[in-house]
Chains A and B, each alone.
Chain A
Amino acid sequence: MKIWEDLLQDIEKNIPSGTECELKMMHSKSALTRFANSQIHQNVDEESADVFLTLHKDSKTITISANLTALKNPMEFVSKAMDSLKSSPIDKGWAGLPDSSESFSGLSKIDESTPDERANKVKEFVSEGKQMNAAGYCSSYTNNYFVWNTNGLNSSDSSSSAFIDGIFRTESSAGSSHRGGILLSDIKAQQAGNEAAKLAIDGENPEDIEPGNYEVILGHEAVSTILVFLGVYGFNAKSKIDGMSPINLDEKQFDEQINLIDTPEDDDSIGFKIDASGAKKKNLEIVKDGVSKSYFHTRRTAKELNAENTFHELFGWGENFGGIGTNLKLLGGNVSREEMIKSVKKGIYINEFWYCRVLDPITQVVTGLNRNGSFLIENGKITKPIGRLRFTQSFMASLAPGNILSVGNKSRYADSEFGEGMLRVPALHLKEFNFTGGVSG
C-alpha cells in the first residue's frame, strides 16, 4: 500500500541512530448498517489510517500516535517524539522489539461490501419476523496492518470480517440471534432472523419465577460472555501481574469437558495472523481437559513473568491492556440442544446475558441479567417463557469441575455485550447457576 511505503520511507530516514523504533499503521474501512423499528435508520461508513510511533533510547520509551492527516510532516512527527522521549521516565519494563525472523507478509486485496449488500442482509433478517419489531445491525470491515521496526522486522497483514446481530420484539418478549464470518457473503442473515423470530414468539407472555440455584442450559451468546470475562480478567497475563487473575497454570480449575484454544492460525478465524508487535501468532492451548495451560502474553508481561511471549498484544492499546486472545474457541461436545433439554428435570434455558459486571476480579463473581429468550424447563421439556432474573455468580465456579453436565455439539461465532463476536462456542449445560433476584429486585 503506497501510503504505508511513503510513510515508512519518510520516518525511517528521520530516526536518529542508536534509537530503537517501532512504526505501525492500521488502515481500515468499516461500515455498519443499523436498523430499528424494522427500518434502517443509521448507516455509516468510515475510512481511517492511524499511525503509532514508539521510540526507545537510554532506557526511556515514548509512544505518540496520529492519523495520517494529523501527522502532517514525518520529520516533525519524529522530532516531537524525540522531544517527549527526553522527559520520559526510565522504562524498566521495556522488552525489546521482535526481530526479522518474525516478519510476516499477509497483505491481500479484499473486496469491500457495499451499503446495498448490507441493506439486503438486513432485509433478509427483518423479513423473518413478519410483523414483529426488528432492531440490530449488519457490519463489515476490511483492515490492513503494517509494522516495521529497527530490529529488522517488516510485517503486514489484511483481514476482513462481517456480522449480523438483531432482535425481534413483541409486546411482552424479545428474541435475538447473531452470525459472524470473514466475508459478508458468509453471513446467513435469514437463518439468524429465523432463530431470533422463533425465540421472540416462543417467549411471549413470560412468567416470573423465584430466584435461586438452577440447572441451566446456556446458549451461544451466554457462553461467549463467560469466556470474554475469563479472557480479559483471567488468562490476561497483566491481570495475573496485577494480582487480579484467578487463573493458576497446571491446576485443574475447570471441568474436564472444558477445552479452550486460541486459533489465529486457522483459515476460518477472524482477524490478523500477526499481533500488534508484528510477530506471527500461533494456535495456543489455554485449557486442556479442565487444566489451565497458558496466559495471554505481550512482550512486557512475558518479560515480567519470565515466560514465553504468546503474541497477544492489541493494536491501539499499546501494552496497557495486557494480552487478549481474539480467536478463542471452546471445543464442542457431542450433545444436541434437544438432548440437553430432555435431560433436565427442572432448569432454565438462557439465550443471552446482559450488563454483566465483575464484583471482584479474583473470584470472578459477576452480576448480570438474562434477556432475549429465557425459558423454564420441566421434566425434559420447555414449559414456559420466563421473565428477568438477576444472577450473582462466579464465572470460574460456573465452569468448575463437576458443574459441566454436557457440551453442545454445534459451535458458531457468538456475540457478547462487549462487541462483535469473534469467539466460537457451543452451548453449555451447567449443574448450578445462582440467581439472586427477580423482577421485583
Chain B
Amino acid sequence: MFSEINLSIDSAISSGAKYADARILISKSRNIAAKNGEIENLNENEKIGIGVRALVGSSWGFYSTYDLSNESLKQAGKKSFEIAKASSTVSGEELPFADIPVVEDSYTTPHDENPFSVSSSEQIDLLLSSTEKMKKLGSSRAFGRLDFWDTEKWFASSQGHKIYQNIIESGGGISSLSVGDGETQIRSYPQSFGEYRTGGWEVVKSFEFENHLERLSQESQRLLVAPQCPQGTMDLILEGSQLALQIHESVGHAIELDRILGWEAAYAGTSHLDLKKLNKHKYGSELMNIIADATLPGALATFKYDDEGTPAQRVDIVKEGIWTGVLSGRDSAAVAGVPPGGMVRADGFGRLPMVRMTNVGLLPGDSSLEEIIEATDEGVYMETNRSWSIDDLRLNFQFGCEAGWLVKNGKIIDMVKNPTYTGITPEFWGNMDMLSGEEEWIFWGTPNCGKGQPSQIGHTGHPASPARFKNTRIGVRG
C-alpha cells in the first residue's frame, strides 16, 4: 500500500505543497441492534479509500476518494494541493509544523478473538436473548446493540513515515425502557449508549449481560413510581460512567488545543482556558489528577501512532488540581509552543485528521464508593448518563442521569427519578473531596464524540472511578 500512497504524496509535493501525508484505510464495521427479542438492524460495511493532506501556506488542503487507481491517486495528491492553494484568497500567517521522529513501524490491537471471525449469529443470539428476557420481565421496550470495528491504516508522509496499524474495537450495551403516564424511564448497562474498548469479542463477553437483565428491568419500572430527585444544594456522588462523561465534556473538550486557538470557534466552540495560564490555572481540588494516555491497554482510544505519525503517549493534563497540559497535533503544538501530543485522528479515510481526545481520565484516589456513601450526611448518588449539555466555553453544564439514590446519614434510603445536576467547571471540580481507588477505576469508552466540519465521530476513552462533589446544585427541572 505504501507505494500507492506515495503516488499521491509525490504528486502533492511536486505540485508545490510544503508537506503532504496520506492514509489508505480498509475499514470494516458490523452493527447489530435488537429490540424486544427481534433484530432491528444488522449491517456489515466495508470501505476502502485514501485521504491526502497537503500543507500550503496557512491552510490544509484535503482530498479523499474511494478510487485507488494510479491515475486517481496522482490526481488526489494534485487536488489536495490545489484545494489548499485556493485558501490563499483568505489566508493568514504560514502554519508552523512541529518535528516528530520519522519511523517505519506496525501495530495491531492486542485481542483474543477478532469480532469479525466470530459468527454473527452468536452475536445476534446474545442480543435476542437479552432483550427478550427483559421484555418478559416487564420492560416496556428492551433494547440491545453491538458494534465492532476493524480498521487497517497505512500512513505515509513526505518526511518518510511508513506506519501500518490495525485497530480493533468492540462493544455494546443493553437498556430497559419503561413507559408510564406521560413519562419514560430507562436503565442501561454497562452505560448509556453502550461501553466500548479496543479489543475483540472478549470485550463484550466480559460484560456478562445475563447478570444485569433483571436489575435493569426492575429499576426502570421502579423509577416510574419513584419520587422526584430533591431540589437544592447538597453532596453529589457520581458513578464512574457518569463521571467519565463529566470529564469528557468539562475537561476533555476544554483542553483541545484547536479549540483554545479558535480553530473550532464557529461550531464546537472555544475554551475557557487561556494558554497564558498553563501551569497556573486552578482547575479543581488537589484530588484532581487528569491524564491523556493513548497507551492504556484495552482503553478505547489506545493506539501506537496518531494519524500524523506522532507516537502515542501519556500527557499530564491536570496535576493536583493545576492545569498542566493540552491535547495537540503537530500544527497546533507548534503554534502554541508545546510538544506535539500525538492526539490527532480522523473518522475514516474521507476526513481531515484533527485534535481528538485520547484516553482522558481521572487518576484514582484512595477511597471507595462504599466509604463515600458512608461519609455522606445528605446527598444524591447518580448513575448512568441520560442527558448532557455544556456551553461553548465548557464552563456551564447540566447533566441528567438515569437513576438517583437518596443518601442520608451514610446510607442509601430511596431511589429517586429524573436526577439532574448543574454547575460551573472550576467550581465543580474544586468541590471534589472524595475519590474511589484503583479497584473501581474503569476505562469507560465514548464511541460517539461529534466534532469538526464536515462532521466527524470520534472514539474516546475516559478512565474514572466514583467521586463525591460537595455543594452541588441538584434537581433542576423544567
Contacts and interface: CB of A to CB of B under 8 A. Distances in A.
Interface of A: 30-50, 61-70, 84, 87-89, 91-93, 114-116, 118-120, 122-123, 126, 133, 135-137, 139, 165-167, 169, 176, 242-244, 318-320, 354-363, 365-369, 371, 388, 390, 392-394, 419, 434, 436-437, 439-441
B64 A69 contact: no
A135 B59 contact: no
Given A69-B48, A355-B389, A40 B90 contact: yes
Contacts of B49: 48, 67, 69
B75 to A, nearest CB: 10
A394 B478 contact: yes
10 contacts: A39-B87, A44-B83, A61-B42, A64-B44, A65-B46, A118-B86, A243-B177, A362-B183, A392-B478, A441-B424
Contacts of B218: none
| Top 4 closest pairs, chain A to chain B, by CB | A115-B86, A39-B92, A40-B87, A243-B179
Centre residue among A31, A50, A70 by max chain B CB count within 10 A: A70
A123 B478 contact: no
A41 B66 contact: no
Given A359-B478, A388-B396, A42 B265 contact: no
Contacts of A69: 47-49, 66-68
Contacts of B119: 87
B391 A354 contact: yes
Contacts of A366: 478
B400 interface: yes
A34 B455 CA distance: 12
A359 B418 contact: yes
B388 A116 contact: no
B47 A70 contact: yes
Interface stretch (B33-41, B101-109, B320-328): B33-41
A117 B120 CA distance: 48
B80 to A, nearest CB: 8
B47 A42 contact: no
B59 A39 contact: yes
A70 B46 contact: yes
Contacts of A390: 389, 391, 396, 398, 422
A320 B89 contact: no
B311 interface: no
Given A89-B128, A320-B33, A47 B67 contact: yes
Contacts of B261: 37
B60 interface: yes
Contacts of A126: 90
B14 interface: no
B318 interface: no
B386 interface: yes
Contacts of A44: 61-64, 83, 351-352, 454
A418 B248 CA distance: 19
A440 B471 CA distance: 14
A359 B45 contact: no
A43 B60 contact: yes
B396 A441 contact: yes
Nearest to A32: B454
B338 interface: no
Interface size class of B (residues with CB under 8 A): 35 or more
B257 to A, nearest CB: 13
Contacts of B87: 33, 39-41, 43, 115, 119
Interface of A is mostly: strand
B345 interface: no
Contacts of A65: 43-46
Contacts of A139: 453-454
Given A63-B43, A359-B387, A38 B478 contact: no
A64 B43 contact: yes
A242 B177 contact: yes
B423 interface: yes
A123 B86 CA distance: 12
B67 A362 contact: no
Contacts of A242: 35, 141, 177
A45 B48 contact: no
Contact of A46 (B40, B64, B68): B64
Interface in B57-77: 58-68
B122 to A, nearest CB: 9
Contacts of B182: 362-363
B384 interface: no
Given A89-B128, A441-B427, A367 B389 contact: yes
B174 to A, nearest CB: 15
Given A39-B90, A42-B352, A320-B40, 19 more contacts: A30-B454, A33-B87, A41-B87, A45-B63, A48-B64, A66-B47, A70-B26, A84-B44, A89-B38, A123-B89, A126-B90, A243-B184, A359-B386, A359-B400, A359-B478, A362-B182, A367-B387, A367-B478, A437-B396
A45 B62 contact: yes
A441 B477 CA distance: 14
Contact of B478 (A40, A45, A47, A393): A393
B62 A43 contact: yes
B214 interface: no
Contacts of B266: 36, 135-137, 165-167, 176
Interface in B448-478: 453-455, 473, 476-478
A441 B422 contact: yes
A288 to B, nearest CB: 24
B120 A119 contact: no
Nearest to A34: B453
A365 B478 contact: yes
A139 B267 CA distance: 14
Contacts of B121: 87-88
B392 A371 contact: yes
B396 A358 contact: no
A114 B86 contact: yes
B110 interface: no
Contacts of B232: none
Contacts of A392: 398, 476-478
B222 to A, nearest CB: 16
Centre residue among A65, A93, A136, A441 by max chain B CB count within 10 A: A441
Nearest to A141: B454
Nearest to B84: A43
B60 A363 contact: no
B79 interface: yes
B156 to A, nearest CB: 18
A115 B476 CA distance: 47
Contacts of B46: 65-67, 70
Centre residue among A46, A116, A362 by max chain B CB count within 10 A: A46
A353 to B, nearest CB: 10
B83 to A, nearest CB: 5
B396 A115 contact: no
A88 B183 CA distance: 34
Contacts of B179: 243-244, 362
A242 B175 CA distance: 13
B264 interface: yes
Nearest to B417: A360
Nearest to B53: A44
B307 to A, nearest CB: 14
A311 to B, nearest CB: 20
A23 B22 CA distance: 32
B329 interface: no
